[in-house]
Structure 1
């Protein structure tokens, strides 16, 4: 399931700017959808990297917070394609905030509110070590 669509990207970036960021032809009249799609793919893979192990992927339905995260990450990626122009501070800030949010989701501080209400367990073995028992049943009998 896709986290965001081309329409979502178009709502976040004005059409003229999107043409300039995505299309390498200076005379282009339309955004390059293949370039935008590549940015969306990279954003989704980054998001999945943070969610993997905590949630069962793919998520269905996709929470809106992840749609917004994918849009912000894609927008940043598109601006970075143009190294001759500085990335606007608002774009940098939204990316930084999105990564912090994803880290919070990964660490379990923020949940996605999935229908099951539970996160997938972390994979791996759990080992527990404890000291020798000091009070057995016979000794506890004296305290009753």
Structure 2
């Protein structure tokens, strides 16, 4: 399931700005949907990379915190397409905060509160079975 849609991006970025950031043709009247789609795919892959070890993917339904994270990362990627202009501080700060949230989710500090989703086992988890103890502390006292 998708973390965010073109409509979510259109709500987060004003239409004129979205057109300027996504379309390389200055005379274009609409945003370049393929560029927006590329940025969405990139953001989703980054989010999956952070969460793959902790949660079973894909999410259904997608938690709103991940939708917001995807929108933030897409916005940053779109602004990053225009290196000749300075990145707004709000966009930079928003991306830094998003990465911190993703790290917190990955590290188990923040949970997604999935109603039906189960957390995946920690990587490297070891389970051990052993036999019942034959010799307890009382039996060994005579051998000291």
What is the TM-score when the length of structure 1 is the normalising length?
0.87
- Structure 1 CA distance, aligned partners of 2:36 and 2:4? 11
Deviations 1:74-127 (A, max 9, x none): 000000000000010000000000000000000000000011464110233538
Q: Secondary structure at the match of 1:87?
A: coil
The runs of 5 or more residues in structure 2 that have no matched partner are: 129-134
Deviation at 1:140, TM superposition (A): 9.6
1:101-116 maps to which residues of 2 (within 5 A)? Answer: 101-116=101-116
Q: RMSD between aligned alpha carbons? A: 2.2
The runs of 5 or more residues in structure 1 that have no matched partner are: 129-134
1:80 maps to 2:85: no
What is the TM-score when the length of structure 2 is the normalising length?
0.87
State the partner residue of 1:132: none
Comparing 115-124 with 38-47, greater Cα deviation is found at: 115-124
Deviations 1:40-71 (A, max 9, x none): 00000000000101000000000000000000
Deviation at 1:139, TM superposition (A): 6.3
Classify 1:59/1:117 alpha carbon distance in 2 versus 1 (closer, same or farther; 3 Å). Answer: closer
| 4+ runs deviating over 4 angstroms | none
Classify 1:127/1:117 alpha carbon distance in 2 versus 1 (closer, same or farther; 3 Å). Answer: closer
